[in-house]
Amino acid sequence: MATPLSSARKKRGPSRIAIERRRDLIEAAIRDIARNGYATVTVASICAEAGFSRGLIGHYFTNKEELLLEAVKTVATELGSAIRDAANAAKPDPAQMLHALIHASFTPPGLTDEKIAVWVSLASSARWSEQLAKIYREIWVDYRSGVGRLFTRAAEARDVAINASHVALAFSQLVEGLWIGLAANRSSINANDAEHCCHHYVDLILDAKTQSPASAAPAPRKRRALA
């Protein structure tokens, strides 16, 4: 028969040190994935990145795959939280919420070089991993649903007819395609230009009479009078 003390011990969650070690390993895995790609990460490379012995992973994760999946989920969660927070801060105007969402999608802390690299690894590896594919599908189903609702509300406010599901699909692929471009070709694509492309897309879909600040054309320079 279990005593009250033994029952309390069983209910007790992981220790602070255990939580910190798990987080250290997840962050090391994120850096390792960003540097070397999902498929090439090993237990040894993760432990070397974290500065821990190889045996430590077994104390906190069932196997390497569980740790890598947690790393991918962490990046997706952090990016999603930054996007939601930015959109919520722009309430109640749904169009401004879309523009805020875009800005958060191409600036820290929502998006960083490491997050871009991990996302590209997720997208490119999902075809060969059912677990990754499940994460990938769930992220985009939720994302497109939320974006579609914002486009619907913004379009209704402007009396513009749209197919919200198609618009949200195209928008999500535009964002992801630009992320991939940023990861692959920083010499010709930068985050600022990528963000502006998405602002322009929203303005075109909504046929906005007033452009977003980010997509407006720069003001002409004033000429100095000749002496």
Q: What is the pLDDT of residues 70-122, one digit of tens each?
A: 999 999 999 999 999 999 999 999 999 999 999 999 999 988 989 999 998 88
Cα–Cα distance measured from residue 152 to residue 181, given in angstroms and rounded to the nearest whole number? 28
pLDDT at 220: 43
Structure tokens at 69: 């999946």
pLDDT at 3: 52
Domains along the chain with CATH numbers: 68-206 (1.10.357.10)
Sign for the CA dihedral angle at 181, 182, 186, 188 comes to: positive
What mean pLDDT comes out for the span 145-157? 96
Please state the length of the chain: 227
pLDDT at 165: 96
pLDDT at 208: 53
pLDDT at 224: 44
pLDDT tier at 56 (50, 70, 90 boundaries)?
confident
Cα 35 to chain centroid distance, Å, stands at 17
Cα–Cα distance measured from residue 175 to residue 162, given in angstroms and rounded to the nearest whole number? 19
Report the mean per-residue pLDDT for the chain. 86
> 1-25 pLDDT, tens per residue?
555 545 444 556 678 888 899 999 9
pLDDT at 210: 45
Cα–Cα distance measured from residue 214 to residue 94, given in angstroms and rounded to the nearest whole number? 16
Could you tell me which of 63, 53, 44, 65 has the C-alpha nearest to residue 21? 53
Could you tell me which of 18, 33, 93 has the C-alpha nearest to residue 69? 33
What mean pLDDT comes out for the span 180-202? 93
What mean pLDDT comes out for the span 42-60? 89
Cα–Cα distance measured from residue 36 to residue 32, given in angstroms and rounded to the nearest whole number? 6
- Asked if residue 61 has pLDDT above 50, the reply is yes
Q: What angle do CA 203, 137, 90 make, to 5 degrees?
A: 35
Which of residues 39 and 107 earns the better pLDDT score?
Answer: 107
- Asked if residue 222 has pLDDT above 50, the reply is no
Could you tell me which of 171, 172, 192 has the C-alpha nearest to residue 182? 192
Sign for the CA dihedral angle at 114, 120, 123, 126 comes to: negative
